[in-house]
Chain A
Amino acid sequence: MKWTKRLSRYTLPGMGLKWDASYFGLLFLVMVLVVLYTFLHDYQAALRALYVYRYGTQILRQGAVMPTLNTLLRHKFTVFWAYTAFCALRAFANYRSFFTETKSIYLMKRLKDKNELSRRCLAIPAAACGAALILFLLLLWLFVLIYRNGVPARCMPPEETLNIWGAFF
């Protein structure tokens, strides 16, 4: 009970955490599904291309090489920018909410603590952005594990440094 009261200091007055949690939770879920689907789809396709099927069995093609992890990851995390845009929109909507229905902005501007307004508008969207970034690093780690353990050793391409930025842009 105490921690929810504490956390409510970072939300819009009267809105509580539930609303923010459901808004960002849904966005989070959509984002994870998009990233997982697009990566696993390409990964599966590339893996399948390593094999040929003869008499119902799959045989590794002669000289087949798996695309690099950087190639498979390219553009996969661009959804993060859409998410960031949603977070920014949310922060703006939070600010606008102090002007809708009533002018509670008048009260916010009379508070001694000048950070109260920015905290209530920005804290949750910023935390959601930070959480998304951590999630992406975890997903990246998961993809590295899948790639390292799933690709046959013979088909591994020459090693190259992991290009994280390529996934985001």
Chain B
Amino acid sequence: MLELKNLCKRYGQTQALDNVQLSVGPGEIVGLFGENGAGKTTLMKCILQLILYDAGGITLDGKLITRQNIGRFSFATCEHSFFPALTAKAHRDFYEEHFETFLGRRFEGLMDFFQLPMDKPIRSFSTGQKNQFEVIMALSQGADYILMDEPFAGNDIFNREDFYKVLLGILEPHETVILSTHLIEEVPGFIGRAVLLHHGKIVGDTQTAELDEQGKTLMDYVKETYSYQSDRVSRALTELTGKEDEDA
């Protein structure tokens, strides 16, 4: 169980995380949503100990996150964390050396499925291929908690669809995914829980099954939680053009 208690992080005057309380259990697939600057990336980086947080605590099965258990997390980020000069094959060797849990068969299978070359430096890949490779490494590390921060930015819709399907097909019951994305409409079938962040605070946390029961879509829930004003655009246009919007 991953537990975040009263997590606070400040960047100068900006409160990036404000008393965040979150528990994520084994096997959950959590979607993390929020506007730009809501604190999604900061939250993930705090979990991975990539940045220091100011207050609160993060534990994994009751233990602080250290070098001893950090290998239970993997991370796929839109910033990419692979070595650009290294080939896929050499990445496999590197991961095998450093992560005892590395899933060689999964790696080979995914590389094959996405038809990525094994012997070319990753820097020579297209943006979409780089994203695919980033996610493949995160999935193949053999981590219990797979954190993904906007991993598909730059991939086409078919590619993303493929990924969601493959992900659902290959994940073991104990593997947990925390996926941060803006592509709310694409993930309802993939995630089991949605966590909404706003100005560093958790403003919504629900199971997608509950939404289904209530007859709501994830997008409805997000708009409702953020008090989204649907007439905002028409009002703005009216103000800008001085004309009444005909559709409004």
Contacts and interface: CB of A to CB of B under 8 A. Distances in A.
Contacts of B81: 102-107
Interface in B54-73: 67-68, 70-71, 73
Given A14-B84, A110-B71, A116 B98 contact: yes
B33 interface: no
Contacts of B98: 111-113, 116
A109 interface: yes
B49 A104 contact: no
Interface residues of B, number: 25
Nearest to B83: A13
Contacts of B71: 110-112
B67 A104 contact: no
A110 B73 CA distance: 8
Contacts of B74: 110
A114 B67 contact: yes
B86 A14 contact: yes
B82 A107 contact: yes
A159 interface: no
Interface of A: 12-15, 101-107, 109-114, 116
Contacts of B85: 12-15
A102 to B, nearest CB: 4
B50 A106 contact: yes
A20 to B, nearest CB: 13
Given A13-B83, A14-B90, A103 B70 contact: no
B48 A106 contact: yes
A112 B86 CA distance: 20
A65 to B, nearest CB: 59
B83 A110 contact: no
Interface string B68-112: 101101110101111111110010001000100000000000000
Interface string B113-154: 000000001010000000000000000000000000000000
A21 to B, nearest CB: 16
A101 B84 contact: yes
A15 B83 CA distance: 10
A16 to B, nearest CB: 9
8 contacts: A14-B121, A102-B82, A104-B84, A107-B83, A109-B49, A110-B48, A112-B71, A112-B98
